[in-house]
Structure 1
């Protein structure tokens, strides 16, 4: 069986951010799966300018005015599915993540996506907004998501994340994401003619 590639995208670039902890945990869980290649993407490594292209990304055909944008879009094109790892800021998700979602368009189409979020209430409102956006990008979101409410309560004395509370949900989410990514990859490989 051909491998599928899942990219975990850290949706925050702030200093002392929490996103690395759940991002690395989900990455480690994915690396245990046969037939899955996992890749951790950090938006800090892609300092995208705010989207200001002269036309919609649906019509850019890879012709971006920024080398960083071209690098980002090409990287996104490699994957079969994604996990967006995001905090909740003021009932929404970070602008840096929205900007990263806005550059590609065709590269997101017909691919699977899942969410890991946190905040005072677990990040549910940020995921609700993301579900609308990824739907417009023609992505298929899995139903399960990992919500970490008051994340600081799940850190040990060394600052490590205790994942036992969320592990079962995360495993179910990953199962559904992988199944969806495999099915969509098969469909993308078929001609409509």
Structure 2
């Protein structure tokens, strides 16, 4: 069975840059025959700031939009996050979206395409720490767009098509997606084993 992967766009600003790397990463994932991928945009979920009595690890969420978000996440076997670096961390919208679920993230791998002046590396490290707390499996490899490359393709720079820096990104994209598929298959097999023993 092919892993089902969500490509989650983690920025919601009207002027966000995220769409360019998101569409590029979607294309890389769709070119493979060992996964299915769906773009999941946080703009499509009107999530409140987390205001539940507790995480859904402990009790069901009450907000209908949070429940709709959880149901969407539950459809997938792994995640690729499009990570913008805001002041050396992830966006508030992404942190809130992470907090709005718990059980749905558990024992699934996560990878990322990150961007910023330093390639989004500090933000991605924050995300990895959050993912570990939520029992996700962060992949070693990730795609980073930074330095001269980010200025080449960002609207505040030359706003060139991302294909102009593609040669710099393809090796890390392949390594990242290879990691993600391996861990998705491993965690899927482990969960099937647990279910079989419980039956």
TMscore range, shorter length: over 0.9
How many residue pairs align between the two structures?
190
- 1:47 and 2:50 aligned: no
Per the TM alignment, residue 159 of structure 1 is displaced from its structure 2 partner at its CA by 4.2
The root-mean-square deviation of aligned C-alpha atoms, in Å, is 1.6
Which residue number corresponds to residue 185 of structure 2?
182
Aligned position for 2:119: 122
For 1:56 and 1:149, how far apart are their aligned partners in 2? 35
1:161 alignment partner in structure 2: 162
Q: Can you list the C-alpha shifts for 1:102-138, whole angstroms capped at 9, x where unaligned?
A: 1111111110100111111111100110111000000
Unaligned runs of at least 5 residues, structure 2: none
- Of 151, 171, 175, the match for 1:172: 175
Picking from 99, 102, 107, the partner of 2:99 is 102
Rounded to whole Å, the distance in 2 between the matches of 1:175 and 1:126 is: 22
Judge conservation of contact 2:9–2:40 (CA < 8 Å) in 1.
yes
Structure 1 residue runs without a partner (length 5+): none
Deviation at 1:36, TM superposition (A): 1.3
Calculate the TM-score normalised by the size of structure 1. Answer: 0.93
Q: TM-score, with normalisation over the residues of structure 2?
A: 0.90
Aligned 8 A contact 2:152 2:158 in 1? no
Distance 1:80 1:28 in 2: 19
- Would you tell me which structure has more helix in proportion to its own residues? 2
* C-alpha distance in structure 2 between counterparts of 1:152 and 1:49, whole Å: 33
